[in-house]
């Protein structure tokens, strides 16, 4: 059974089933405590993966106990409203102009006080395009906390699914990059266009092919997306002592 | 005071002295000259063949030399008037409390037996007065003069027996330089200080260094019937919910083959019990109790064995001690219904707090979730160990937090463990319920039994609208919501926080304290509580009726200014839940926590205002509450000083466990209440052991050159005493001896005879 057929059916059936559930709960207690990805609006092409973000929120709802609003809400990086959305997606195709001082300061405060940033090079760039622009801006936002490779032992690879790689639509880089604030990874950065693997067109088809691994790689990219969301929500929960032995056994 | 025996004012002694005015060096030179003269004479006749002649010439020269020296020295007789000081003999009687034990069942007390012996020995002691000053002291261990009559009249009370110190004091006591010729020591030998382990090591050396024979008189019989709790070993403090061990020794005399129940109780409530079997007629059996204190604070514990009717001492059958139970790190169990931002910020806070040991369980997947995996091995999920955390390990947690945790699915429902949780809180645990869409009236899991222990009850559907919570008057002062340094600062700190979205609709139960409420959401005409607390049984619980307190952690920073409100609020909440002593406005401390028999009970009360500033001139009232009798036995009042502290003292109460219950007021303002525990011991080390130690008394006598005796005796035996060596000089009169004419004739005669003999033998 291919992943494409499975997810398409689930999209149709699951979406229909989810609508009354989401609306009931939202009525009862509001949506602000639910998982809603915010999207960073910058001067470049920032909005090419909004469907992918809605999709990963939906997958989170389907596969885990997390309650979501399957939406992607864009905000300027200088917006105080960002502080109601602790998960921020920062993607782009190609470079983008330098952030303003206000944006840099706001983003720094956002990360320092507990916000989480998932950065994603939608163009799969390395040293140019989005990659060079993002690294340039991160050096301004967190000059003391440079991006560094995230080891495979990091809790993000076991926060829900057991994973050992970090594929997206592409597999340019085998690992994620991260900026640590203390023990917390405040920024995770994929150069493999993670959200490209999640994106669907309005007709329900996946927007992009996944290479080189095809559909299995797409499933891994979805799982990694869920793990990243789980990490943003649960931090190092899966590093707690109660999980260690069990996870060790599963790794064998 | 002993009097020196004086001779009549006549010369009663004499000695030879030199009356020569010449200085000593001149006398030495002259003596050398004389020796030289004798030597020359001897040299001169060395070849004399006749031995008779040689001896005669030597003898004559020696005789002349001696006679000449006699004149040079001017010898005389010094007539002296001397007054001999009599040495001392110290009679030391043990005045420790064990001397009030009977010598035998139904017999007189040990002290009475000593008194009766001293009366019998009075004639012999009087006879000793010719040569010695006999001093009679009681020691406790300070020396105090006693008489046989006063011994019989005043009971022995001292809390310790220190034989070595008493003998040392006796050697140093008395008048001037009068030395001690001997000690007569009357005791049961029940030393509980330096000689407790016997006459060994430094104690032996110290006794030998005294150079005084100590003759011992052991009083009392060894074979008493008695049961005693001895050798208590326990730390001064313990960690709550951690096991600790109390060790005691049960000392039984005359209970061979008997099974003795031993009970450890905490203020009247049995904590543990054991049975020991005493094998011989004088047996010591160790008993160890291991238990786990479940609350912080100071408590009185008592180890008790039954009292049998024919026992020598009943007071030593129980032994009380106080134990301060403190916490190590606060052990928090966080159970989360599902990952959420509210959970994420609380976890971040608890994990970074070095004082918190966090154990957490999140429901990451419910039955309705489809993770899309072929095998569970692809997931990092673990089974939810409900039985372990809500049953076997529940008591190991200081605080349990339910964060929007309420599942109706059989696999995740805690219905089976609700009673455990309710009992856990009732018995001293702490519980926090954080709201959301699965609890407090939302979702399908109502958890009725657990809800009994909470300060609020569900009252209808939640309200998702943004609102700014209101601090109630109670909340302004309560340690949980006091996030500023004073009332104004607290109010300002809360006012700065952003509005939060969504609140569960609840009503406060009677007895609950609402600290914050919703400004317009009401139930039964009252504003819905947002934060409410109460004491449930011996435990505490807190409800936060929203899942949006994370706004205080994150959204509060949107305008750029840092805020510590969230950290302070939850930090305060944890400290209040676990009864952090620093969060009480009235701090009560027993001083000291264990009181020896007959000593007053002291208590220090520190009063603070609601803003934690010292309360000056606060009226403090402390009740001494007997745990045994379950009623107050005394009350003391006082006024605090500038530092908010007052020390009060109670007259010595009956032995047993007590609570010190304090309350304070400043004007009309109630400053709260507090308590501490104090153990008034029934017996000190002295009365806990009724045994007689004749072997120790024998060792003392042997180490000092004295003799050991046992009472009763018919009269005073011949005890070894040192002779008094000391002579004191009074007036003197010199009588010259050299100024007699016949000494001069003898000198001339000797010299002449030598000259004549030399002429005769042909040497001149």
Q: DSSP states of B246-314 as a string?
A: EEEEEEEES-TTEEEEEEEEETTEEEEEEEEEE-SSEEEEEEEEEE---S-EEEEEEEE-PPPTT-S-S
Residue B34: the pLDDT is 86
Mean pLDDT of B394-411: 93
Measured CA to CA in angstroms, residue B264 lies from B238, B594, B630 at distances of: 16, 17, 19
Residue B612: the pLDDT is 59
Whether residue A86 lies within 8 A of chain B, CB to CB, comes out as yes
Whether residue B345 lies within 8 A of chain A, CB to CB, comes out as yes
Residue B344 has its nearest CB partner, among A80, A235, A246, at A235
| Mean of pLDDT over chain B | 87
Tokens of B569: 């609020």
Least confident of A38-42, B37-41, B81-85, B193-197: B81-85
> Rounded CA gap, B181 and B87, in Å?
6
Is CATH 2.60.40.1930 the classification given to domain B583-680?
Answer: yes
CB contact under 8 A, B373 and A161: yes
Mean pLDDT of B588-592: 87
Whether residue B384 lies within 8 A of chain A, CB to CB, comes out as no
Looking at the complex, report in whole angstroms how far the Cα of residue A129 sits from the nearest Cα belonging to chain B.
31
Local structure of B595: helix, strand or coil: strand
How confident is the model over A112-139, as pLDDT tens digits? 999 999 999 999 999 999 999 999 999 9
**Which residues from B are below 8 Å from A63, CB to CB?**
365, 369-372
Q: Is the pLDDT of residue A92 over 70?
A: yes
CB contact under 8 A, B464 and A26: yes
Residue A21: the pLDDT is 43
> Rounded CA gap, A232 and B537, in Å?
39
Q: Is the pLDDT of residue B616 over 70?
A: yes
Residue B348 has its nearest CB partner, among A30, A114, A159, at A114
How confident is the model over B327-384, as pLDDT tens digits? 778 899 999 999 999 999 999 999 988 889 999 999 999 989 999 998 888 999 988 8
Residue B223: the pLDDT is 60
How confident is the model over B736-761, as pLDDT tens digits? 877 778 888 888 898 898 888 888 88
Whether residue B342 lies within 8 A of chain A, CB to CB, comes out as yes
Question: Among residues 492-521 of chain B, which lie with CB inside 8 Å of chain A?
Answer: 501-502
Q: Is the pLDDT of residue A28 over 60?
A: no
Local structure of B572: helix, strand or coil: helix
Task: Count Cβ–Cβ pairs < 8 Å, chain A vs chain B.
Answer: 148
> Rounded CA gap, B370 and B387, in Å?
25
Residue B120: the pLDDT is 87
> Rounded CA gap, B320 and B680, in Å?
7
Taken in order of first residue, the domains within chain A and their CATH numbers are 3-251 (3.40.50.12140)
Higher pLDDT, residue B141 or B642: B642
Least confident of A52-61, A89-98, B359-368, B653-662: B653-662
Domain spans of chain B, in order of start:
13-84+730-761, 87-222+692-710, 226-326, 330-577, 583-680
Select from B169, B215, B218, B222 the least CA-distant residue to B189: B218
Question: Among residues 42-61 of chain A, which lie with CB inside 8 Å of chain B?
Answer: none
> Rounded CA gap, A86 and A238, in Å?
20
Most confident of B261-270, B306-315, B382-391, B421-430: B421-430
CATH of domain B226-326: 2.60.40.10
Select from B305, B185, B197 the least CA-distant residue to B251: B305
Looking at the complex, report in whole angstroms how far the Cα of residue A126 sits from the nearest Cα belonging to chain B.
31
B375: cis peptide before it, omega within 30°? no
Residue B75: the pLDDT is 83
Whether residue B381 lies within 8 A of chain A, CB to CB, comes out as yes
Residue B20 exposed, middle or buried by CB count within 10 Å (0-12, 13-18, 19+): middle
Tokens of A182: 């203390």
> Rounded CA gap, A184 and B347, in Å?
12
For strands B539-544 and B500-508, give the pairing.
Answer: unpaired
Within B442-586, residue ranges assigned H as helices are 448-451, 473-477, 487-495, 550-553, 565-577
> Rounded CA gap, B711 and B217, in Å?
6
Best probe of the B interface among A15, A23, A64, by most B CBs < 10 A, is A64
> Rounded CA gap, B353 and B372, in Å?
37
**Which residues from B are below 8 Å from A80, CB to CB?**
558-559
Could you tell me the pLDDT band of residue A26, with boundaries at 50, 70 and 90?
A: very low
Residue B365 has its nearest CB partner, among A33, A65, A81, at A65
Q: Is the pLDDT of residue A24 over 60?
A: no
Residue A172 exposed, middle or buried by CB count within 10 Å (0-12, 13-18, 19+): middle
CB contact under 8 A, A113 and B553: yes
Does the fold of domain B330-577 match that of domain B87-222+692-710?
Answer: yes
Tell me which fold the domain B330-577 belongs to: Rossmann fold (3.40.50)
Residue B429: the pLDDT is 93
Give pairs for B53-59: CB < 8 Å, separation 24+. Answer: B53/B757, B53/B761, B56/B757, B57/B754, B57/B757, B57/B758, B57/B761, B57/B763
Question: Among residues 154-173 of chain A, which lie with CB inside 8 Å of chain B?
Answer: 158-162
> Which residue of chain A has the CA closest to B560?
A109
Q: Is the pLDDT of residue B558 over 50?
A: yes
Indicate the helix (H) or strand (E) that contains B110.
helix B110-120
Whether residue B558 lies within 8 A of chain A, CB to CB, comes out as yes
Mean pLDDT of B185-213: 87
Indicate the helix (H) or strand (E) that contains B507.
strand B500-508
How confident is the model over B485-505, as pLDDT tens digits? 778 889 999 999 999 999 999
How confident is the model over A130-177, as pLDDT tens digits? 999 999 999 999 999 999 999 999 999 999 999 999 999 999 998 999
Residue B461: the pLDDT is 93
| Contact residues for B663 (Cβ-Cβ < 8 A; gap 6+) | B586, B620, B621, B670, B671, B672, B673
Mean pLDDT of B441-448: 90
Q: Which CATH superfamily is domain B87-222+692-710 in?
A: von Willebrand factor, type A domain (3.40.50.410)
How confident is the model over A37-57, as pLDDT tens digits? 999 999 999 999 999 999 999
Most confident of B37-51, B152-166, B540-554: B540-554
Residue A12: the pLDDT is 46
> Rounded CA gap, B220 and B312, in Å?
12
Least confident of A5-19, B74-88, B352-366: A5-19
């Amino acid at each position: 059974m291919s992943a494409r057929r499975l997810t398409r059916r689930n999209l149709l059936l699951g979406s229909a089933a989810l609508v009354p559930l989401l609306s009931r709960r939202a009525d009862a207690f509001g949506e602000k405590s639910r998982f809603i990805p915010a999207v960073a609006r910058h001067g470049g092409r920032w909005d090419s993966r909004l469907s992918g973000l809605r999709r990963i929120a939906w997958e989170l709802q389907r596969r885990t106990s997390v309650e979501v609003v399957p939406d992607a809400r864009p905000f300027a990086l200088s917006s105080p409203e960002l502080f109601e959305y602790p998960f921020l997606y920062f993607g782009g195709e190609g470079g983008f102009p330098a952030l303003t001082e206000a944006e840099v300061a706001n983003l720094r405060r956002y990360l320092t006080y507990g916000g989480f940033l998932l950065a994603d090079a939608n163009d799969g760039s390395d040293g140019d395009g989005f990659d060079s622009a993002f690294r340039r801006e991160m050096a301004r936002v967190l000059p003391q906390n440079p991006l560094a490779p995230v080891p495979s032992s990091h809790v993000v690879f076991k926060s829900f699914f057991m994973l050992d790689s970090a594929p997206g639509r592409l597999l340019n880089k085998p690992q994620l990059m991260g900026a640590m604030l203390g023990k917390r990874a405040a920024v995770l950065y994929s150069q493999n266009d993670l959200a490209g693997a999640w994106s669907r067109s309005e007709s329900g088809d996946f927007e992009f092919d996944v290479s080189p691994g095809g559909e299995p790689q797409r499933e891994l990219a979805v799982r990694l997306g869920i793990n990243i969301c789980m990490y943003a929500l649960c931090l190092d929960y899966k590093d707690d002592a109660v999980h260690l032995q069990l996870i060790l056994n599963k790794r064998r | 005071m002993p009097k020196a025996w004086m001779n009549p004012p006549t010369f009663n002694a004499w000695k030879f002295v030199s009356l020569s005015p010449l200085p000593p060096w001149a006398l030495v030179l002259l003596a050398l000259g004389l020796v030289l003269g004798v030597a020359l004479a001897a040299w001169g006749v060395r070849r004399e063949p006749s031995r008779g002649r040689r001896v005669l010439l030597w003898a004559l020269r020696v005789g002349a030399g001696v006679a000449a020296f006699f004149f040079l020295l001017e010898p005389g007789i010094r007539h002296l008037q001397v007054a001999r000081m009599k040495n001392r003999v110290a009679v030391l009687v043990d005045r420790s409390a064990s001397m009030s034990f009977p010598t035998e069942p139904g017999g007189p007390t040990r002290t009475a037996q000593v008194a009766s012996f001293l009366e019998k020995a009075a004639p012999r002691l009087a006879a000793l007065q010719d040569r010695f000053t006999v001093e009679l002291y009681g020691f406790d261990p300070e020396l105090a003069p006693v008489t046989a009559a006063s011994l019989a009249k005043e009971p022995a009370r001292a809390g310790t027996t220190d034989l070595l110190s008493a003998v040392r004091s006796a050697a140093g006591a008395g008048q001037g330089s009068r030395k001690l010729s001997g000690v007569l020591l009357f005791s049961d030998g029940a030393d509980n200080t330096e000689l407790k382990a016997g006459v060994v090591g430094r104690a032996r050396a110290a006794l030998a260094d005294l150079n005084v024979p100590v003759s011992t008189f052991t009083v009392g019989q060894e074979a008493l019937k008695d049961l005693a709790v001895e050798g208590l070993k326990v730390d001064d403090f313990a960690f709550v919910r951690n096991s600790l061990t109390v060790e005691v020794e049960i000392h039984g005399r005359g209970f061979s083959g008997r099974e003795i129940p031993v009970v450890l109780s905490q203020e009247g409530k049995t904590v543990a019990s054991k049975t020991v079997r005493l094998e011989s007629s004088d047996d010591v059996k160790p008993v160890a109790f291991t238990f786990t204190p479940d609350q912080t604070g100071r408590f009185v514990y008592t180890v008790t064995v039954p009292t049998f009717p024919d026992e020598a001492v009943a007071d030593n059958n129980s032994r009380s001690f106080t134990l301060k139970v403190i916490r190590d790190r606060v052990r928090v169990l966080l159970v989360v219904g599902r990952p959420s931002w509210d959970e994420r910020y609380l976890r971040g806070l608890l994990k970074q707090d070095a004082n918190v040991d966090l154990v957490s369980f999140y429901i990451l997947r419910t039955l309705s979730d489809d993770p899309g995996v072929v095998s569970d091995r692809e997931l990092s999920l673990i089974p939810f160990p409900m039985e372990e955390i809500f049953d076997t390990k529940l008591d190991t947690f200081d605080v349990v937090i339910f964060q929007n945790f309420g599942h109706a699915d059989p696999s995740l429902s805690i219905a089976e463990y609700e009673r455990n949780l309710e009992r856990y809180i009732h018995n001293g645990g702490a519980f926090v319920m954080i709201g959301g869409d699965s609890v407090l009236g939302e979702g399908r899991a109502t958890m009725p039994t657990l809800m009994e222990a909470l300060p609020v009850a569900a009252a209808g559907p939640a309200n998702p609208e943004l609102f700014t919570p209101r601090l109630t008057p109670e909340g302004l002062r309560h340690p949980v919501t006091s996030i500023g340094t004073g009332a104004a600062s607290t109010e300002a700190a809360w006012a700065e926080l952003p509005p939060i979205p969504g609140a569960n609709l609840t009503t406060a139960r009677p007895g609950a304290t609402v600290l914050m409420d919703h400004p317009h959401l009401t139930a039964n005409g009252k504003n819905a509580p947002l934060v409410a607390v109460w004491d449930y049984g011996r435990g505490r619980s807190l409800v936060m009726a929203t899942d949006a307190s994370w706004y205080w952690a994150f959204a509060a920073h949107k305008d750029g200014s840092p805020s510590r409100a969230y950290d302070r609020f939850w930090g305060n909440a944890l400290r209040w839940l676990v009864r952090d002593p620093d969060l009480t406005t009235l701090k009560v401390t027993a001083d000291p926590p264990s009181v020896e028999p007959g000593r007053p009970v002291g208590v220090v009360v520190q009063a603070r205002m609601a803003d934690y500033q010292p309360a000056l001139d606060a009226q403090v009232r402390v009740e001494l509450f007997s745990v045994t009798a379950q009623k107050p036995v005394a009350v003391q009042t006082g006024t605090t000083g500038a530092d908010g502290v007052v020390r009060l003292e109670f007259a010595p109460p009956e032995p047993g466990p007590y609570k010190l219950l304090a309350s304070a007021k400043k004007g009309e303002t109630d400053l709260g209440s507090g308590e501490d525990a104090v153990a008034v011991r029934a017996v000190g080390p002295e009365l806990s052991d009724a045994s007689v130690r004749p072997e120790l008394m024998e060792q003392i006598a042997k180490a000092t050159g004295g003799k050991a005796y046992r009472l009763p005796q018919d009269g005073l035996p011949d005890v070894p005493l040192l002779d008094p060596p000391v002579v004191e000089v009074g007036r003197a009169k010199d009588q010259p001896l050299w100024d007699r004419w016949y000494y001069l004739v003898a000198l001339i005669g000797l010299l002449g005879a030598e000259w004549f003999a030399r002429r005769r033998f042909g040497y001149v």
